[in-house]
Amino acid sequence: MTVSVDEIGNLFARREGTQRDAAPVLIGSHLDTQPEGGRFDGVYGVLAALELVRALNDADIATGKPIEIVSWTNEEGARFTPAMLGSAVFTGVTSLEEALAKQDAQGITLADALAQSGYRGTRAVRFQAVDSYFEAHIEQGPVLEANGTTIGVVTGGQAIRWLDVTVTGVAAHAGTTPMPYRKDAYFAAAQMALELEKIAERRAPRALVTIGQASIANASRNTIAGKVAFTVDLRHHDDNEVDAMERDLRAAFASAAKTRGVEVSIETYWRSPATPFAPSCVALVAQAVDALGYSNERIVSGAGHDAIHLARYCPTAMVFIPCVDGLSHNEAEDALPEDVTRGANVLLNAVLARAGVAATLNAK
């Protein structure tokens, strides 16, 4: 394979097809993880793609269209935000310059981090047309395992919205300020968190809300919190519902701030609209599952994936496999060997169908 790295650090490995001028079928995922993440989220998709190519080589099968394995940069957004940064640049959602200027918590830019690690590549980011994109992934939730289903045929991704919230009160002495006289930013933030939970409860079961990060400015054990900043993650299958959730949030937070005598500011940091996958590629995944005789169900991805960006750029589909106890973004994350194998088999057959090879192969 021909290996190259582009200017944002996306890693590609190309296997030529018989149609040399044809656009490639991309397959892959990401290798970065969360601070205490697992070894399957993302990594499985890259290794399944590599196994797919090895299986084709072992069987001496040539595809019509080229196949390219891709490992996307900074999918998780754990060190540099927002998430899915490498694929965002690749698809033109974010400019290269903007992405390279992103800084981590220590002030190191993505450009410097890529240079230090040796992954500041020279290949142009938007280099050519793409025929399609397929990504295998663990579900990262409990649905497939709970239903006893082998494969999730992913029809698209749900809407995601990230908000940054800052609550400003008055820092004061913890021992000399009576409770009625306090403007405690932390207690106000706690009330807002409970209101946020109620917003999700009113739209159960599809609405999801999360406060993933929170900090007290100039925190001290015996000082009333003067300023609290926290993040909010809103998710739903429907864009209109996410809009409604944000409206409810802003109203509830403003009311809590008034009651507590504090100020609140809310900024929208990132939007990812609900994204359907291409029916043609979803159908290839479904056909592969049926041919292999695996149990399956249609499922909407609750997590963000590089496939979401690719779906707005080229025909895209995903293959989900169960993960043990539905656990992800955790060091205990796991997937059973038989599920890993079945997912790779589905990926192989779907990609072969898209790449123009009529014969099917069952990977081992």
297: left (phi over 0), alpha (psi -120 to 50) or beta: beta
DSSP 108: -
CB neighbour list of residue 302: distance below 8 Å, 6 or more residues apart: 140, 141, 158, 208, 235
CA distance 155 to 174: 53
How does pLDDT run across 270-322, given as a tens digit for each residue?
Answer: 898 999 999 999 999 999 999 999 999 999 998 889 999 999 999 999 999 99
d(C-alpha 121, C-alpha 67), whole Å: 20
Provide the 3-class DSSP secondary structure of residue 148.
Answer: coil
Domain spans in the chain, listed from the N-terminal domain onward = 2-158+274-355, 159-272
Distance separating alpha carbons of residues 362 and 257, to the nearest angstrom? 60
Q: What does pTM read for this prediction?
A: 0.83
- Give the pLDDT of the chain (364 residues) as one tens digit per residue: 999 999 999 999 999 999 989 999 999 999 999 988 899 999 999 999 999 999 999 999 999 999 999 999 999 999 998 889 999 999 999 999 999 999 999 999 999 999 999 999 999 987 578 999 999 999 999 999 999 999 999 999 999 999 999 999 999 999 999 999 999 999 999 999 999 999 999 999 999 999 999 999 999 999 999 999 999 999 999 999 999 999 999 999 999 999 999 999 999 998 989 999 999 999 999 999 999 999 999 999 988 899 999 999 999 999 999 999 999 999 999 999 999 999 999 999 999 999 987 444 454 4
CATH number of 2-158+274-355: 3.40.630.10
Q: Do the Cβ atoms of 252 and 244 come closer than 8 Å?
A: no
What are the pLDDT digits (tens) for 113-157? 999 999 999 999 875 789 999 999 999 999 999 999 999 999 999
> What CATH number does domain 159-272 carry, 3.30.70.360, 3.40.50.970, 3.30.43.10, 3.30.70.330?
3.30.70.360
Joined together, the tokens standing for residue 221 give 């054990």
CA–CA dist 356, 17 (Å, integer)? 9
- Side-chain half-sphere exposure of 208, counting CA atoms within 13 A: 16
| 3-class secondary-structure state, position 28 | strand
Q: Cα separation of 304 and 143, whole Å?
A: 17
Q: How far apart are CA 326 and CA 279, in angstroms?
A: 27
pLDDT at 270: 87
Tokens of 245: 């959730």
List the Cα angle 197/200/206 in 5-degree steps.
Answer: 145
Element housing 50 (H / E): helix 43-58
